[in-house]
Chain A
Amino acid sequence: MGRFLARVAVAVIALGLAVWSPVTAQTARLSLPDVPNPRVIEASDVGRFGGTFVTTSISDPRTFNPIVAQETSSSTPLAYLFESLVETNRFTGEIEPNLAESWTVSQDGRTWRFKLRRGVQWYDGRPVTADDLIFTLDAAFTEGVQSSLPDVWTVAGKKIGYRKIDDLTVEFRTDQPFGPFLRSVGGLQPVPKHRLESTLRRGAADFNRSWGINTNPRELVGNGPFVMHAYVPGQRILYTRNAKYWKVDKRGQRLPYLARIVIEIVPNVETARLKFHARDIDMYAARPREYAELLRRQQAENFTIFDGPPTFGTEFLIFNQNPAGVRPPKLTWFQNVKFRQAVAHGIDRDAIVRQVYAGRATPAWGPVSPANRFFFNPNVRKYPYDLARAETLLREAGFTRGADGALRDAAGNVVEFVIATNSGNTDREAIGNLIRQDLAKLGMRVTFAPEAFNTLVGKLTGTFNWEAIVLGLTGGLEPHNGQNVWRSNGSLHMWWPRQERPATDWEAEIDRLFDQAATTIDQNKRRQLYNRWQEIVAEQVPVIYTATQLTQPAFRNTLANFSAAPLAFYDLETLYYRTPYR
């Protein structure tokens, strides 16, 4: 494990923010017969070839078409087949060249040119060219194609412009400078035009169904490290090594190291864990409560469990401030910032961390996870568990406690409300229960009512008929991708979605900050803007954050080039077996 960490440190030398200009020289120029300038993976150890890596997925993929894929159960299996223009370094979060070997941005920050790596081939031997890139964009923007990619590729309501310059160069143009350009547009994974063009011509409906899970996997032509060999519904996906891959290790050996990859579909976490113990699978993403126990067993069973980084997701309590959903007096309480602050002070986050996550979490105070080294602002207002402070805030807001212990507002209404969450999520149910008990100490009469996920989302986004909800959202590096939550007109602006004009000054300010950050190219300036946003959220607490979980991946010791980096635990192409195995 010590060795592992040392390597991580070396890897972090990083390409820094310098990446924003074209990437300069790589140490020693390595090349392959067909790829003159292969991507060199510097950060990892030189490994040995061969072996099968077995991992798990909780559900079946839903499509093999990367343009239509919406969720991780589809996009993860596809990540082995398709590569993006640029890649985020899993240790540093920096952007690195990938399919695009370099890029330039114009002075005004509106025109971007990407140059594709020469010699990269699709599995069937055709070269990956600018035409494929243009086709992918055309397909995603086609009316009726079921893709969420255009949402990321739309700047201030206008889709980005793009054109082919030559066989290997594509130019993008935005109306305004677009701050998150590299992370959003750079994530573009081209698909082979020669394979999919005819289906797109037959219409969007056909395209949505092309490369479905009933496709013969051999027809899925990509350019990634592995080729899909077979998909057995409900059981597993099998991959074999792509012998034409365009990345090399430090010694110039063609990657990937592994001969085969298997994704076992295991819907039940308990089964996955037993399979890990039985050495059927090589990696297990342990739950927080299992950390201590697995730590005890790692020697005997020859695996390593890592003290991993926090997740990017958030868990929170939120009050409904939408007049279309709740009426006074409840609306008045929920819209009162002192009420929300009092609640924030009334929640014992340490108890949540200790009980629900067995210590494998940190109290959370804002919308950005500490895992996000770029944009996390640690200096925001915090709400430590403090009943006295909470009571003071409630008094200031006009609430009083009667002889019966019940909290009443200035008009004498007893403070009572319902906290919902999605049933079946035991962690959230436990958090909801803790919060209910905590708030009871402040004299609030809280009912805790878990509901079916569909019902809950229906209320949250459709009928607005809810009072308070304990929920979580997934997150990523780029705060701009959360604009649907944070802009006052966003459809996921949960406490009051789709406002015609911002209801409060602070919401107006957040709108302005998001606009500004979207059109700023300088990443340090963007960071300051998003810092301010986090301060406002922490001050106004429209969303009361509870805790951020830590990850604890467990890996067989027979594998190497694995580490608990913030963004991903391994790169497929460099994972290898120390010893011949399987």
Chain B
Amino acid sequence: MLRHVLRRLLSLIPMLFGITLISFLIIQLSPGDYLAEMRLNPIVSPQTLEQMRANFGLDQPLHIQYLRWLWNALRLDFGYSFAFQVPVMWLISSRLFNTLLLNVVALAVAWAIAVPLGIHAARRQYSWSDNTLSFAAYFSISTPVFFSGLFLMYWAYKTGWLPIGGMTSIEYEFLPWWGRVLDVARHMVIPVLVLGVFSVAGLMRQMRANLLEVLRQDYVRTARSKGLAESVVINRHAVRNAINPLITIFGFELGGLLGGSAILEITMSWPGLGKLIADAVLQKDLYVVMASLVIGSVTLVAGNLIADILLAYSDPRIRYD
């Protein structure tokens, strides 16, 4: 297994090279550049624009630009953001924690709810509780995040129970440590609800379907007929087999922890990475996009690797060598 992990990590190198090269070309060949907004400002002269292009290194041939970026990136220098004139890494690290906090909590909540509910729904297929859960799931996967976010904020305003958007209150810096934790927790309720419920629905449906599939397998029948207790049959035998696709999904979700919540972050002014990356993509803030691609690829590969290891752990039949 260790060899497998090492090999996977090594394979990251050509992969990153491929992704960054292709992405760089596509980004640079797509029309428009970071200066678009400034080009429409009547006061800014063409000379100034040329000057800025040169400062950003955008006047160089593409391969030089890429190689220069690659050389710096190898030394973990991801360059400066065009828009913010600060190191890309500073920009990303200033928001990394916020996004991780939100997504990890949402992920944990979603899994903690979805798996038991899925098991329950599968065991009582077509009972009223299964049907209710199913319909709740359909409802939440049909509601786009920008709408449910807005709707819940409107509800928060109407009831006054929860803060509207953001991550902290204005008073935050004057609060004691427990007040700060409470403050952030209060701000997290709606975003976690929106993100969590959305993924609960999908996960629950998956879990239910897989478990139903497994429960029909012969070995479950055998186990039951041997007189094993139903809870043992379900937990020891069925769930373990049913969880397989969920582990793969878990890997994806780990990989998407950093950039996956952009729309929610914009809607609810959560100071996260998703919004930063979305803005950079829209404005063609090249080096921020490149760094986010690298980070995204690394987390994706890491997530998939973890999923593969968990897969082998949950199902001893799976081998990679």
Contacts and interface: CB of A to CB of B under 8 A. Distances in A.
A234 B95 contact: yes
A141 B179 CA distance: 49
Contacts of A205: 55
A208 B45 CA distance: 18
A150 B48 contact: yes
Contacts of B84: 60, 62-63, 212-213
Interface string A180-217: 00000000000000000000000001001100111000
Contacts of B87: 214
Contacts of B80: 209
Interface stretch (B33-41, B60-68, B203-211, B227-235): B33-41
A161 interface: no
Interface in B160-204: 160, 163-168, 170, 173
Contacts of A484: 42-45
Contact of A278 (B51, B94, B160, B170): B160
B246 to A, nearest CB: 32
Contact of B157 (A52, A234, A277, A458): A277
Interface stretch (B15-23, B111-119, B264-272, B302-310): B264-272
Contacts of B272: 234
A454 B44 contact: no
Contact of B271 (A68, A265, A268, A462): A265
A70 B82 CA distance: 12
Contacts, number: 173
Nearest to A424: B282
B219 interface: no
A154 B156 CA distance: 53
Contact of B32 (A60, A152, A214, A458): A458
Contacts of A275: 164-165
A266 B268 CA distance: 8
Contacts of A491: 39, 45-46, 49
Given A70-B44, A209-B80, A457 B86 contact: no
Nearest to A70: B38
A127 B131 CA distance: 75
Contacts of A280: 163-164, 170
Given A71-B37, A457-B40, A461-B39, A271 B153 contact: yes
Contacts of B154: 274
Contacts of B33: 454, 458
Contacts of A230: 173
Given A265-B269, A268-B268, A277-B157, A473 B31 contact: no
Interface residues of B, number: 59
A108 interface: no
B44 A271 contact: no
Nearest to B55: A146
Nearest to B165: A271
Given A63-B84, A146-B52, A214 B42 contact: no
A538 B139 CA distance: 54
A454 B122 CA distance: 49
Contact of B268 (A271, A278, A471): A271
Contacts of A23: none
B12 interface: no
B138 interface: no
B244 to A, nearest CB: 38
A214 B80 CA distance: 12
Contacts of A154: 45
A35 B167 CA distance: 42
A151 B44 contact: yes
A270 interface: yes
A474 B188 CA distance: 37
Given A278-B160, A454-B31, A266 B269 contact: yes
B150 interface: yes
A543 interface: no
> Which one of A234, A270, A462, A463 has the greatest number of beta carbons of chain B within 10 Å?
A234
B85 interface: yes
Interface string A532-566: 00000000000000000000000000000000000
Given A209-B80, A268-B165, A457 B39 contact: yes
Nearest to A476: B43
B86 A213 contact: yes
B98 interface: yes
A475 to B, nearest CB: 8
B158 to A, nearest CB: 9
B31 A481 contact: no
Contacts of B284: 454
Nearest to B268: A271
A96 to B, nearest CB: 22
B90 interface: yes
B267 A268 contact: yes
Contacts of B136: none
A492 interface: yes
A266 B165 contact: yes
Interface string A353-381: 00000000000000000000000000000
A54 B170 contact: yes
A460 B42 CA distance: 13
Contacts of A235: 166-168, 269, 271
A280 B213 CA distance: 51
B207 to A, nearest CB: 34
B101 to A, nearest CB: 13
A458 B36 contact: yes
A441 B160 CA distance: 51
A16 interface: no
A147 B90 CA distance: 23
A274 B40 contact: no
Interface string B117-160: 00000000000000000000000000000000010011011001
Contacts of A460: 39-40
A213 B91 CA distance: 9
Contact of B48 (A52, A148, A208, A452): A148
Nearest to A280: B164
Given A233-B271, A234-B167, A236-B170, 11 more contacts: A70-B38, A213-B86, A234-B269, A234-B275, A268-B267, A275-B165, A277-B157, A454-B36, A455-B32, A484-B44, A492-B40
21 contacts: A54-B170, A70-B44, A146-B48, A148-B38, A205-B55, A230-B173, A234-B275, A270-B267, A271-B164, A274-B153, A278-B160, A280-B170, A453-B32, A454-B32, A462-B31, A473-B40, A481-B43, A491-B39, A491-B45, A491-B46, A491-B49
Interface of B: 30-33, 36-49, 51-52, 55, 80, 83-87, 90-91, 94-95, 98, 150, 153-154, 156-157, 160, 163-168, 170, 173, 266-272, 275-276, 279, 282-284
**Top 10 A-B pairs ranked by shortest CB distance?**
A234-B271, A454-B32, A457-B36, A458-B32, A491-B46, A458-B31, A233-B94, A151-B45, A271-B165, A212-B86
